[in-house]
Chains A and B, each alone.
Chain A
Amino acid sequence: MTAAAVRGAPSSALAGLCAALLDLPDDEAAAVASGVEALAGRLPVAARLALRAGVGAAGVAAVSLTGRRLAGLDPDRRARLVAVLGSHPRTADLVDLVKVPVLLAHGARAAAPELAARLTVPPVRPDGDLDVTPSPWWPSRSVADVVVVGSGAGGAVVARALARAGASVVVVEEGRRFGVEEFRTRGTLERFGDLYRDGGATVALGRPPVILPVGRGVGGTTLVNSGTCYRTPPGVLVRWRDEHGVDLADPARFGPVLDEIEAMLAVAPVPDAVMGGNGRTALRGAAALGWSAHPLVRNAPGCAGMCQCAVGCPTNAKFGVHLNALPDACRAGARIVSEARVEAVMHGGGRATGVRLRRPDGSVAEILAASVVVAAGATETPPLLRRSGLGRHPSLGRHLAVHPAVSTAGWFEDPVDATRGVLQSVGVDELHRSAGILIEATATPPGMGSMVLPGAGRALADQLDRSDHLATLGAMIADAPAGRVVGSRHAVLRYDLTPRDGQRLVAAIGAMGRVLLAAGATAVVTGIRGHETVADEGALEEALAHADPARLHVAAFHPTGTAAMGGDPDRHPVDEAGRLRGVVGVWVADASVLPTCPEVNPQMTIMALAASIATGVGDGGPAR
């Protein structure tokens, strides 16, 4: 199989593998395969190679075990072959590797008719009134008071604050603008491929590897996030203040900023009407255990429970920054350049002078500004600073916390209809304070996130047919900053799950299993190898005892800390006011500056920190 085959026409090996994995007739398998290939075209080279290797290995196995090529096998033998591959620990990883995009592509295909049928409600609000200029139309030379790199949670809020304060602000965003129309008309798989960096296949290398999707578009990751809004826990804020010297994190100071962000986001708890079966299951299970649980607070006024947060809300209910902070900023005169990747923050004589950006056609444009606010996200900010010659601080790119997540699902007699309702609906915080485990009922679309149904062939197909009986929980653990971002042209992520955090992930699976069983699940899908499905508490304990954290399916959505702010020049690349150390006129205001894992979904924390940092932008003094 060639690279061209992965990107272009469906390869017969991939189609054969799809048919075997999902027990599909050939024509459907070919359709799924072409979906996988379209997605593969957006993957970074490494992921594409891995996928190719996985498919190739399956093909080699077919030839060596049966003497025939995968595509030439009849369905029975194909199924048996995949079962054999799936049962061997080494080859099982390979099968999983291929399974993720295949499930995603198949899920998108299978769900499409229903999604379309349910989309009867019109958008609850029009697209934001934005002053966006795609970079080909943006002049090669321009000037501004402030350039903000990245239009996500951090960048948008900074742009809003600075534009309102009267500065001329240009926001430079690598991604393009998305509108509600395409969220209503295009398929979820295509949207997924467009909305995420690397087609959603960003991976932090390590044992286990961690899938770490990040959004890319005007609005950043808030375009695709679940809308869960947590205030920063006071304990975290006190730690940032006392152990990292971040005075603006003082709860008395930070509280009012969070209030303002909550007002901007119009946050409210998930209403009953759109809660959906997934959330109700979680509430029921928690109640049976006597655990603390509650509907999540979200920024989604008017949410109709379409369960498509992760691929762009088709009703514009999810109130990402593209619908509030950015329109506010533009109303105050800010301008956005889209499809413009900032190559470097320019500086000379120890002072920032602007940014150099690259257009899709490879041409370059420069924007001069005495102040540059970097808000490219925790994974992109360190490489950007490095390739700008501003990456000398030894801690830059280190201390990456990801808030790793595992998923656990439960089978129920009655349909749960998890995807009819809010995607992320209920929080179970019983173990949050004590063990740093935060459970959230999250109805991830099949193949997305960390939920991987076990098995292959007929067995897998049966599960997929019954997936409306499945309830899915996710749990995130407050992790040690065990990762780092290396590279300067491109980000390369590394994350070494610490043994303690590995144990916590296993414990989190146990907690979720208990909630699901308490809610009446007939079986629990654990994601633990060799114990994929358990039927009762005893089997669950048994599974946990045998769990190897290095072989869990781990995903992460909240990378933070790669340019930590704080008062110690040796430890923190960014000072306690958000200024990058070592240069005058560069601020960092995104997830990178969080000194540690915030222990909750971070968008409000990022926004409030960005708003706090914005008040000092333009003050030309050096970092402390």
Chain B
Amino acid sequence: MATPMRFTEAMEGSWHPIGPGPAPGDGVPGGPLGFEVAVELPEPVRPLGTVHGTLVGTVHARGLAVRAPATGTIEISPLEHRRVRYVLDFVGDDGTPFRFDGWKSIRWRRVASTWTTLPGTITVAGGAAAGTAIGTATVWFAWRDAPSLVASVRLGPPRRQPGPAALAARRWDGRPGRLEVWYDTFTDPATGAGFWLHHEVVAPDDPGQPVQAHGWAAAFPPDGPPVWERFGPGAPGEGPGFEAGGVVSGETARTGEAGEITWDLEVAGGGPPLWTFPAATWRREVLPGAQIVPRPAARYRGTVTVGDHPYRLDGVPGATARIYGHGNAERWGWLHADLGDGDVLEIVAATPRRPGLDRLPPLPMVRLRLGGRDWPSSPWSALAFHARLGLPTWTVSGRWGRRRLQVTVTQPADRCVRVGYRDPDGATATCTNTERARARVLVERRTPTAWAVEGEWDLDGTAHAEIGSRP
């Protein structure tokens, strides 16, 4: 059996409309065009043969589509046909289906240029005008993107993504010195209120100490100070998720009571899990701790009552996240930003609590989901990002492949709660959290000539963030 192969590739260039007028290339006004695709091949590229695979990603073409999801096929035939062909179907902003069909023609005498130049034609792919060529395009692969392409290469069958049920299930197997967390953050757009449900099981390093299941709930109303209430501790229940003293976090159920806050919610949807830490680090305990987001763009439905104020939530946006490991980090910053339409940005920038490592600057794990594609393509990208943690404002920036990202998070003191954390070894940390943070996010894409804004967001009061520190 052949080994499947996957990688991601980005190419940028421009397109020119076809029509009467001067010949293409004579300076006809065109526009930038580019795409970023995940390539999936049933077998690794064969130098002597031809391999057909699939493409999933996004296309942007000025005047046609700002950023459209795209699917298609790829044919890689370096010697047999000396051709690498990309066929990508996407729907333009006006609803017109388009097809980009192009191929690199490999000339081994000019391999560097022919391997990176992809001319193609854009045709209308459906409707009355189906088959009409409307434009020509040439996009290029930049050699400086080669590292990110290479880093994205994966061999072997894609792991079956575990579903929300599996990711909601308890990881802890009774070993001492473990911390497991289930948490939800969501925002009620109707009122502007933010919410935080935090459930954790702490198995102390000392096996003589009792295992504790506890947690808290917090509400962040727009017109008053946040309310924060603890529940527990108690003994962890036997169920598959979190359960302790009437508080439940199951596959979809979130119910419980903590002080003057009660909640009874169902969570649904969310899209594929976002692996803030690589899936392998979640499955196997290779790092001191790992955070993942099983439901990055979920919907919460039900009621949260704070004192005598009920919030009726009708499918409000939020996310379910999980943490498992030996304890909290030395220092950390966390951001969840729902950018809308299933697009999300998740950042965990942390310095591990290990002697020696605890002097390092925080390492930002960044996941940006745009149009169903997750970026960066490799966890090594963490090395390419830079975080400057602080309060009330902290930043993360960096660039990977053809994109660069700049994030500024502001956590005004009056919107924050301060929570003391206790690690399995007994150490404590302080976390400053708000579900009404402001996040400004700038995503830019490199075109052959300049950086072009791909997306810009200012989430004022709907971002979820925290900063953790030790005294």
Interface residues of A (CB under 8 A from B): 136-137, 139-143, 168, 346, 348-349, 353, 356, 364, 366, 368
Contacts of B80 in A (CB 8 A): 348-349
Q: In the complex, are the beta carbons of B121 and A139 less than 8 A apart?
A: yes
Pick from B81, B101, B120, B121: contact of A349, CB under 8 Å: B81
Nearest CB of chain A from residue B217's CB, rounded to whole Å = 58
The chain A residue sitting closest to B85, CB to CB, is A368
B433 close to A (CB within 8 Å): no
Q: Please measure, in the bound complex, the distance between the C-alpha atom of A218 and the C-alpha atom of B102, giving whole angstroms.
A: 27
Q: In the complex, are the beta carbons of B23 and A139 less than 8 A apart?
A: no
The chain A residue sitting closest to B136, CB to CB, is A139
> Given A137-B18, A139-B18, A141-B101, is A346 in contact with B81 using a C-beta cutoff of 8 Å?
yes
B105 close to A (CB within 8 Å): yes
> Given A137-B18, A140-B119, A141-B119, is A348 in contact with B23 using a C-beta cutoff of 8 Å?
no
The chain B residue sitting closest to A359, CB to CB, is B23
Q: Please measure, in the bound complex, the distance between the C-alpha atom of A353 and the C-alpha atom of B101, giving whole angstroms.
A: 15
Q: Please measure, in the bound complex, the distance between the C-alpha atom of A142 and the C-alpha atom of B24, giving whole angstroms.
A: 15
Q: In the complex, are the beta carbons of A141 and B81 less than 8 A apart?
A: no
Q: In the complex, are the beta carbons of B18 and A142 less than 8 A apart?
A: no
The chain A residue sitting closest to B102, CB to CB, is A141
Contacts of A366 in B (CB 8 A): 103, 105
B417 close to A (CB within 8 Å): no
Q: In the complex, are the beta carbons of A137 and B101 less than 8 A apart?
A: no
B153 close to A (CB within 8 Å): no
Contacts of A136 in B (CB 8 A): 23-24
Q: Please measure, in the bound complex, the distance between the C-alpha atom of A15 and the C-alpha atom of B251, giving whole angstroms.
A: 99
B6 close to A (CB within 8 Å): no
Within 8 A of A (CB), among B106-141: 119-121, 131, 133, 136, 138
Contacts of A141 in B (CB 8 A): 101-103, 119-121, 136
Q: Please measure, in the bound complex, the distance between the C-alpha atom of A356 and the C-alpha atom of B121, giving whole angstroms.
A: 16
Contacts of A346 in B (CB 8 A): 81
Could you mark each residue 154-177 of chain B with 1 if its beta carbon is under 8 Å from any beta carbon of chain A, else 0? 000000000000000000000000
Interface residues of B (CB under 8 A from A): 18, 23-24, 50, 77, 80-83, 85, 101-103, 105, 119-121, 131, 133, 136, 138
18 extra interface residue pairs, beta carbon distance < 8 Å, beyond A141-B119, A368-B103: A136-B24, A137-B18, A137-B24, A139-B24, A139-B119, A139-B136, A140-B119, A140-B138, A141-B101, A141-B102, A141-B120, A168-B131, A348-B80, A349-B50, A349-B81, A353-B81, A366-B105, A368-B85
Q: Give 3 closest A-B pairs by Cβ, nearest first.
A: A348-B81, A136-B23, A140-B119
Contacts of B77 in A (CB 8 A): 348
Contacts of A353 in B (CB 8 A): 81, 83
Q: In the complex, are the beta carbons of A140 and B136 less than 8 A apart?
A: yes
The chain A residue sitting closest to B107, CB to CB, is A364
Contacts of B103 in A (CB 8 A): 141, 366, 368
Contacts of B24 in A (CB 8 A): 136-137, 139
Q: Please measure, in the bound complex, the distance between the C-alpha atom of A182 and the C-alpha atom of B18, giving whole angstroms.
A: 28
The chain B residue sitting closest to A142, CB to CB, is B121
> Given A139-B121, A141-B102, A353-B81, is A348 in contact with B18 using a C-beta cutoff of 8 Å?
no
Contacts of B101 in A (CB 8 A): 141, 143
Q: Please measure, in the bound complex, the distance between the C-alpha atom of A611 and the C-alpha atom of B223, giving whole angstroms.
A: 84
Q: Please measure, in the bound complex, the distance between the C-alpha atom of A366 and the C-alpha atom of B119, giving whole angstroms.
A: 10
The chain B residue sitting closest to A168, CB to CB, is B131
Q: Please measure, in the bound complex, the distance between the C-alpha atom of A605 and the C-alpha atom of B105, giving whole angstroms.
A: 38
The chain B residue sitting closest to A140, CB to CB, is B119
The chain A residue sitting closest to B80, CB to CB, is A348
Nearest CB of chain B from residue A170's CB, rounded to whole Å = 12
> Given A139-B121, A141-B121, is A348 in contact with B105 using a C-beta cutoff of 8 Å?
no
Q: Please measure, in the bound complex, the distance between the C-alpha atom of A346 and the C-alpha atom of B103, giving whole angstroms.
A: 14
Q: Please measure, in the bound complex, the distance between the C-alpha atom of A142 and the C-alpha atom of B137, giving whole angstroms.
A: 12
Contacts of A143 in B (CB 8 A): 101
Q: Please measure, in the bound complex, the distance between the C-alpha atom of A348 and the C-alpha atom of B76, giving whole angstroms.
A: 13
Contacts of A137 in B (CB 8 A): 18, 23-24
Nearest CB of chain A from residue B147's CB, rounded to whole Å = 28
Identify the interface centre among A141, A143, A346, A368: most chain B CB within 10 Å of its CB.
Answer: A141
Q: In the complex, are the beta carbons of A139 and B81 less than 8 A apart?
A: no
Nearest CB of chain B from residue A272's CB, rounded to whole Å = 47
Q: Please measure, in the bound complex, the distance between the C-alpha atom of A140 and the C-alpha atom of B121, giving whole angstroms.
A: 8
Nearest CB of chain A from residue B101's CB, rounded to whole Å = 6
> Given A137-B18, A349-B50, A366-B105, is A142 in contact with B81 using a C-beta cutoff of 8 Å?
no
Q: In the complex, are the beta carbons of A139 and B133 less than 8 A apart?
A: yes
Q: Please measure, in the bound complex, the distance between the C-alpha atom of A139 and the C-alpha atom of B101, giving whole angstroms.
A: 11
8 A-B pairs within 8 Å (CB atoms) are namely A137-B24, A139-B136, A140-B136, A348-B80, A348-B81, A353-B83, A356-B105, A366-B103
Q: Please measure, in the bound complex, the distance between the C-alpha atom of A346 and the C-alpha atom of B80, giving whole angstroms.
A: 11
The chain A residue sitting closest to B120, CB to CB, is A141
Contacts of A142 in B (CB 8 A): 121, 133
> Given A137-B18, A140-B136, A141-B120, is A348 in contact with B102 using a C-beta cutoff of 8 Å?
no
Contacts of A356 in B (CB 8 A): 105
Contacts of B18 in A (CB 8 A): 137, 139
Nearest CB of chain A from residue B198's CB, rounded to whole Å = 55
Q: Please measure, in the bound complex, the distance between the C-alpha atom of A236 and the C-alpha atom of B120, giving whole angstroms.
A: 48
Q: Please measure, in the bound complex, the distance between the C-alpha atom of A366 and the C-alpha atom of B106, giving whole angstroms.
A: 12
Q: Please measure, in the bound complex, the distance between the C-alpha atom of A136 and the C-alpha atom of B16, giving whole angstroms.
A: 13
Q: Please measure, in the bound complex, the distance between the C-alpha atom of A168 and the C-alpha atom of B133, giving whole angstroms.
A: 14
Contacts of A368 in B (CB 8 A): 85, 103
The chain B residue sitting closest to A349, CB to CB, is B80
Identify the interface centre among A137, A168, A353, A364: most chain B CB within 10 Å of its CB.
Answer: A137
The chain B residue sitting closest to A135, CB to CB, is B23
Contacts of B105 in A (CB 8 A): 356, 364, 366
Q: Please measure, in the bound complex, the distance between the C-alpha atom of A137 and the C-alpha atom of B24, giving whole angstroms.
A: 6
Q: Please measure, in the bound complex, the distance between the C-alpha atom of A168 and the C-alpha atom of B103, giving whole angstroms.
A: 20
The chain A residue sitting closest to B104, CB to CB, is A141
Contacts of A348 in B (CB 8 A): 50, 77, 80-83
Identify the interface centre among B50, B83, B131: most chain A CB within 10 Å of its CB.
Answer: B83
Contacts of B138 in A (CB 8 A): 140
Nearest CB of chain A from residue B121's CB, rounded to whole Å = 4
Nearest CB of chain B from residue A136's CB, rounded to whole Å = 4
The chain B residue sitting closest to A333, CB to CB, is B131
Contacts of A168 in B (CB 8 A): 131
Q: Please measure, in the bound complex, the distance between the C-alpha atom of A345 and the C-alpha atom of B50, giving whole angstroms.
A: 19
Q: Please measure, in the bound complex, the distance between the C-alpha atom of A103 and the C-alpha atom of B82, giving whole angstroms.
A: 51
Nearest CB of chain B from residue A504's CB, rounded to whole Å = 49
Nearest CB of chain B from residue A201's CB, rounded to whole Å = 30
Nearest CB of chain B from residue A359's CB, rounded to whole Å = 9
Contacts of B136 in A (CB 8 A): 139-141
Q: Please measure, in the bound complex, the distance between the C-alpha atom of A349 and the C-alpha atom of B83, giving whole angstroms.
A: 13
Identify the interface centre among B50, B81, B101, B102: most chain A CB within 10 Å of its CB.
Answer: B81
Contacts of B119 in A (CB 8 A): 139-141
Q: Please measure, in the bound complex, the distance between the C-alpha atom of A368 and the C-alpha atom of B102, giving whole angstroms.
A: 10
Q: Please measure, in the bound complex, the distance between the C-alpha atom of A206 and the C-alpha atom of B82, giving whole angstroms.
A: 41
Identify the interface centre among A140, A142, A168, A346: most chain B CB within 10 Å of its CB.
Answer: A140
Contacts of B83 in A (CB 8 A): 348, 353
